[in-house]
Every structure is written in structure tokens, then in C-alpha cells.
Structure 1
């Protein structure tokens, strides 16, 4: 094989490798159709405004599950306590199926107040109306 032929062959292989690389780049950039998922934000029904809880009691937090979407992004729920405008690190319940519609929690020992609410996490967080926790 002459040096001219080997030079042409080398250029051909380089162009071939570049084209194959471009093809794989384009294939990787193509959109992949994923299963459509919906964010589910079921409204909290209890506790409601005016509710009074006492430290140490057990209560069923309830939420409306009458109209869930077909494909929920995250079905695992978590209930956290919120005081005023801040969600506290207190997890009252965790790891339950968001479609249960209720979960029993124990009222934590916290400073008395009337500006507590609960945050129900699953796909997103939604807040209960404010209620009171007393001793």
C-alpha cells in the first residue's frame, strides 16, 4: 500500500469516526418519552381552623383523596409541624401511602400556641389551616 493510499484511508477513518460520534450525540439528544406524572396536592381536612390539640394526644390527620390523578409523582407521604411561617424539623408521620387519606399522629410537646399548622408532603407540600396546641 502506498503512502498516498494509507493517507486517504486514514482520513476516511477519521471522517467515519467523527460521523459515528455525531450520530451518537444526536441520538443521545433526542427526547425520550417518559410516563406523564402529576403533582398531587390533596387538601387537608383535619385539623381545621379552630381545632385545639393537647400535647401527648393522638389524632388522625385527614386529607381529601377523592380525586387523585392517575400517575402520582410521589406516593409516599410525610406530615410535619409548622409554627407560624416556619416548618419545624418535627416529623409527625413518614413513609405512608398518600392515598390512605389519614394517618394517626401524636401531638408533640411544643410551646403552646394558636399558630400551628401541618404540612402534608407527597408530591408537594400543602398546609392545614392554623390550629392550637395547648398543654
Structure 2
């Protein structure tokens, strides 16, 4: 798990431009920056009322109203993480989704079956920048 601000800073400093394979993703290859136009989507779901079951299929949704025309065909990545002691802990080795069109405004994901139950999970949607969802809960059962 990596801190989001450190991840973005590292990518911006190094300036890499290729997505890595999900199985070998590194903080340096997770974001593709192909222009000076940056889209940081507002995540609409999950929200603070969300409770996801481990192993279930869920939709991650975001607002596309501010998506620049130049980014209509951009693809994205969704990462799962959690907030603890003021840090974002992101699982970059196992993205929840990759390669989906950002202009869709949603993507279906499968919640990992083996997670620690907690109520401070977050999703991050990356187009060429990232945005963090509200904290939500993942549990084994309702």
C-alpha cells in the first residue's frame, strides 16, 4: 500500500507514461500522463453509507460533467485502499479495475474476498490524476 500523495508526486517527478501490467504495477507505472490537461473525477459511489461484502460485485461511479473533451477517450484505474493515521494506503499491486473508458462514469469491480474488515476503506479513480472516495465499510456479511 502506498500513500496517494507520494504516489502522484513520484509519478509526476519521474514523468513516466506507460501503464504497467496489473500484476507488476509499480508506483511509477500506474498513471499515464499524456497531456497538460488533468482530470480528477469526483467519486459519487462508494460513499460514506456504503457497505460492501467481500467477494461481491459493486459499481464505482464518478461524475463526468467536468471531463474535458481531450480526455473523453482516456482510460482509468480503480485502486482500493484505506485511511489510517492520516495516510492513504493503496493496493497498487492488485487494481480493482484497469483500462476502462473514463467517460463511462462507472465501472463494475469484484470486492476482494480476503480483506480485513474495516470502516475506513476508500476507492481511488485515476484517469491521469486521482480522487479519493468517502470512507466506507467492507465486511464479511451484513
State TM-score, norm by structure 2: 0.66
Structure 2 residue ranges without an equivalent (≥5): 1-34
Q: Which has the larger radius of gyration?
A: 1
The alignment covers a number of residue pairs equal to 100
1:73 Cα offset (Å):
9.5
SS in 2 for 1:71: helix
Q: Name the residue aligned to 1:111.
A: 116
Q: Name the residue aligned to 1:68.
A: 67
SS in 1 for 2:103: helix
Q: Name the residue aligned to 2:104.
A: 100
What aligned pairs does 1:1-80 form with structure 2 within 5 A after superposition?
37-72=36-71, 75-80=74-79
Is the 1:59–1:105 Cα contact (8 Å) retained in structure 2?
Answer: yes
Q: Would you identify which runs of 4 or more consecutive aligned residues in structure 1 move more than 6 Å?
A: none
Is the 1:45–1:128 Cα contact (8 Å) retained in structure 2?
Answer: yes
Is the 1:48–1:129 Cα contact (8 Å) retained in structure 2?
Answer: yes
- Higher helix proportion: 1
State TM-score, norm by structure 1: 0.69
